[in-house]
Amino acid sequence: MSDTSIKISAKTPAPAGNGMRADLAIGIVFLVCAIAAPFVIDSKYLIGQLIVGLFWAAIAVQWNLLFGYAGVFSLAQMALFAVGGYGTAMTATYLGFNIWMAILSGAVAATIFSMLVGLACLRLQGVYVALLTFAISNVLYLLIVTDTACYEMIGTTCRQFTGGPSGFSRFGDFGMRPVLRGDWVKGNYAIVLAGFVLTLLSSWVIIRSPMGLAFKALRDNQGYAIARGINRFHTQLLVFGISAFFTGLTGGLYAAHFQAIGPSVFSMNTLLFIMAIAVVGGTGTFWGPVLGTIVLMVADEVMRDAGQFRTLGLGLLIAVFVVLLPRGIVGRIGDFLTSIRARQNAPRQGD
């Protein structure tokens, strides 16, 4: 196993000095497109899909930070998202928080939850982490769905403390309806986009910071990194918590946008979709999750016509991508660029 990890480090080209300029250029293009979108598109459905895409991209960016950069294979990403969403809904419902406070407390709740999960799981390695986080999110789902004890009565129906199988709804929204009237979706889009940009920026800063170097080192050669004085447990716990904060924030925005949150967010299919986004785009590449979201959302829309075969197609698509393009689209492009550069440099060295 140790030699495969060496292979990875050899294959992953170190970001060149102009990587920062390239990131900035791509970022500006992306931002211009994203800001222009609501002025160009008039269909409410399409804007709604763009918002959903931003949610998935934000989760995928955080999962990629965790898996692609820090090498922590966590399957609890949707559970953290759900804790963020549920935290928002529950603090707004039970404590009467306004929606912004509620979203913030959802994100904090997700961070605290991730710390507990991390304390239990991160002492372990690789697949063990994946299995335990998978099991923990399943337990959380089961406990919510099978919750039958009445917490309070609303009219004639009883509501469980965790919302039970039906979840929470009508706990407040972004308050865009009275301001923008018919265009309230565009207002929501702006807020979600702001949240996404914040998520993206934070992960960029983390990846470029000394801390980012530390967890890339841990991913590439754990033994060597530890020997150089990096504390694996602390570093991974830290990145787990940071990623959980932004995932929880996205969960809160999701709950506020849809004005509802239910146990369906835990579903394996959603987690799979997030993983597919990261894998198709390219794990361990900064723009991979963003590109992956665009590709998969478009593929999803196209396959919507195929109706019942959509899930089947998505499953096969993931398998095919992993087998044929193991480093994703962005990774492939990166390989292609380095090979061109190498070819350009070769004759000069011969002179």
Output 128 or 151, the one with its CB closest to another protein: 128
Interface stretch with another protein, choices 20-28, 36-44, 122-130, 180-188 (CB under 8 A): 122-130
Interface stretch with another protein, choices 78-86, 126-134, 153-161, 192-200 (CB under 8 A): 126-134
Which residues touch 7 (CB under 8 Å, ≥6 apart)? none
Interatomic CA distance for residues 101 and 97, integer angstroms: 6
* 7 lies in the binding site for another protein (CB under 8 A): yes
DSSP-derived secondary structure letter, 143: H
DSSP-derived secondary structure letter, 165: G
Which residues touch 267 (CB under 8 Å, ≥6 apart)? 78
Smallest separation, CB 200 to another protein (Å) = 23
Output 193 or 276, the one with its CB closest to another protein: 276
215 conformational bin, left if phi > 0, alpha if psi -120 to 50, beta if neither: alpha
* 180 lies in the binding site for another protein (CB under 8 A): no
71 conformational bin, left if phi > 0, alpha if psi -120 to 50, beta if neither: left
126 conformational bin, left if phi > 0, alpha if psi -120 to 50, beta if neither: left
* 43 lies in the binding site for another protein (CB under 8 A): no
DSSP-derived secondary structure letter, 10: H
* Of 92, 102, 318, 329, the one binding another protein by CB under 8 A: 318
Phi and psi angles of residue 325, each rounded to the nearest 5 degrees, phi first: -125, 70
Which residues touch 139 (CB under 8 Å, ≥6 apart)? none
* 127 lies in the binding site for another protein (CB under 8 A): yes
**Using an 8 Å Cβ cutoff, are 210 and 203 in contact?**
no
* Of 14, 40, 154, 323, the one binding another protein by CB under 8 A: 323
Contact string 84-103 vs another protein (x = CB under 8 A): --------------------
* 231 lies in the binding site for another protein (CB under 8 A): no
Contact string 129-168 vs another protein (x = CB under 8 A): -xxx-xxx-xx--xx--x----------------------
* Of 120, 306, 337, 342, the one binding another protein by CB under 8 A: 120
* Interactions with another protein, residue window 255-314 (CB under 8 A): 268-269, 272, 275-276, 279, 283-284, 308-309, 311-312, 314
Closest CA to 130 of 181, 64, 71: 71
* 21 lies in the binding site for another protein (CB under 8 A): no
- The first and second tokens of residue 305, run together, are 């016509």
Which residues on neighbouring strands pair with residue 66, listed in sequence order? none
Q: What is the tally of helices (H) and strands (E) in the chain?
A: 15, 4
The residue count for binding another protein (CB under 8 A) is 55
**Contact residues: another protein, CB under 8 A:** 1-2, 4-5, 7-8, 11-12, 67, 73, 120-121, 123-128, 130-132, 134-136, 138-139, 142-143, 146, 221, 223-224, 268-269, 272, 275-276, 279, 283-284, 308-309, 311-312, 314-319, 322-324, 326-327
